[in-house]
Amino acid sequence: MRHKKDISIAILLVIGLLILLGIECVYRPAQEQRQQEYETRQRDPLTHDLSSIQQYKSLYMGDAANTIHLFGNLPLQDLPSSYENDPESLTFQINYNVSLASLSEQLVMRSLIYNSAAAFGLIDNLEGLRYRFLDKEFSVSRADFSQYFEQPLSELVQTPSLWESAVKEPLQDDNVVIALIEACFHKTSR
């Protein structure tokens, strides 16, 4: 009788070890792979998940931690950067510690548009954005940028289907990206 009990315990132990081995060797690596793919998609405005930034909705750009976290979850998040708030002009500045020439210009231009739409849509009193690279600077005002969109940015960012059609889909067309950058962004060399 004791021998059967010992065998049952050994079998349960082996089954438990096999389950643990399956979790460690199959499930966790697959889960880590999915997480890594998700994080990669978050760096591209064409595949960025809007729901990941909804929590950063704020009335005030003066909530610096919130604004920094917002930009830390938008495309270009992987670039070394620092931030500045200008409460007088209600402008938020992102200082990228890389030159634009070292990056994919197409990805950067799409990201500037996407990030601006997200920031203006989520931060109610934000009036301007300044993106400073080592070699170029782009600035945009809410007034200039909002004219491009038929609906208020705050509505677009709250409605994923509208966001998709008004913000993400146009970014697939390089001509639209160039036209929007030229129409809304003030560009200077540094």
Count of domains forming the chain: 2
Determine how β-strand 91-96 pairs with β-strand 128-132: parallel
Whether residues 86 and 169 fall in one domain: yes
Whether residues 16 and 81 fall in one domain: no
Whether residues 36 and 81 fall in one domain: no
* Residue 32 structural domain: 1-41
Whether residues 133 and 160 fall in one domain: yes
Per-residue pLDDT of the chain (190 residues; tens, 9 = 90+): 667 777 777 777 777 777 777 667 766 666 777 767 767 778 899 999 999 999 999 999 888 899 999 999 999 999 999 999 999 999 999 999 999 999 999 999 999 999 999 999 999 999 999 999 999 999 999 999 999 998 999 999 999 999 999 999 999 999 999 999 999 999 998 7
Whether residues 61 and 116 fall in one domain: yes
Buried b (16+ CB within 10 A) or exposed e, 127-157: ebbbbbbeebbbbbbbeebbebbeeebeebb
Q: How far is CA 92 from CA 7, 25, 97, in A?
A: 68, 45, 16
- pTM, two decimal places: 0.83
